[in-house]
Amino acid sequence: SAGPGVGPATRTCVLSGELRSAGALCDLLSFVGHAGWRGEFVVHEADSTRSIFFDQGDVVGAQSTVIRERLGEVLYSYGVLTRDQLTRCSDATATGTLRFGEAAVKFGFVAREKLFDLMAHQIEEIFYGMMLLGNAMYYFLEGFDEHGLSARQKLSMTTLMRDGIQRMHETRYFRARIPSGEH
């Protein structure tokens, strides 16, 4: 059970284990989605934690401690923000009174309606990053606190899985043909 401060006072852990190879989560995530469970799927790696929130077979939210999966970095990688705009929004959120997306809207860098759509891309990036993990611990906790989600989305588990597997194959294919990460 998850202790106080993690969501509901007590949540049952219905699935847990250890990952030993990349792609091993595909079957587990598919199982959770197709079973229609409601809860939080958490994966702990040596220096990061990712959570995917499920409700009735759909992915409704995600959280990550990985820097490149933070909302600002996702907006930057999609070309929505410049590095200077990203820094300005980050500085505005330093006190904790303003969230990153709110700062981007406040400064006029992105429209509120567009931000909601872009937040779905953040969930996708966290999901795809989770699928690639090869050495981590995972568990699934029943239920979650709705207030913990920055914005509730509704992403199809089947679509996420299909696109994630395609991305894994393309990455493996092109990695062998691209000289370095600078290209």
Q: Averaged over 133-145, what is the pLDDT? A: 93
Query: For position 1, what pLDDT does the model report?
Result: 45
pLDDT score for 70: 93
Q: What is the mean pLDDT of the chain?
A: 88
Q: What's the pLDDT at 78?
A: 92
Whether the pLDDT of residue 69 is over 80: the answer is yes
Sign of CA dihedral 159, 70, 15, 59: negative
**Is residue 79 over pLDDT 70?**
yes
Q: Is 2 helix (H, G, I), strand (E, B) or coil?
A: coil
Minimum mean pLDDT among 5-9, 30-34, 174-178: which range? 5-9
Q: Which of 83-87, 125-129, 178-182 has the weakest average pLDDT?
A: 178-182
Question: d(Cα 126, Cα 142) in Å, to the nearest integer?
Answer: 20
The predicted model gives 85-99 an average pLDDT of: 92
Predicted confidence at residue 139, as pLDDT, reads 95
Question: Half-sphere exposure of 95 toward its Cβ, with a 13 Å CA cutoff?
Answer: 5
pLDDT tier for residue 165 given thresholds of 50, 70 and 90: confident
Burial class of residue 9 (count of CB atoms within 10 Å of its CB; 0-12, 13-18, 19+): exposed
C-alpha distances (whole Å) from 134 to each of 1, 41, 106 are 25, 16, 39
Q: How confident is the model at residue 170 (pLDDT cuts 50, 70, 90)?
A: confident
Q: What is the value of pTM for the model shown?
A: 0.84
Asked whether residue 180 carries a pLDDT value surpassing 80, the answer given is no
* Model pLDDT, residue 23: 78
User: What is the predicted pLDDT for the residue at 175?
Assistant: 65
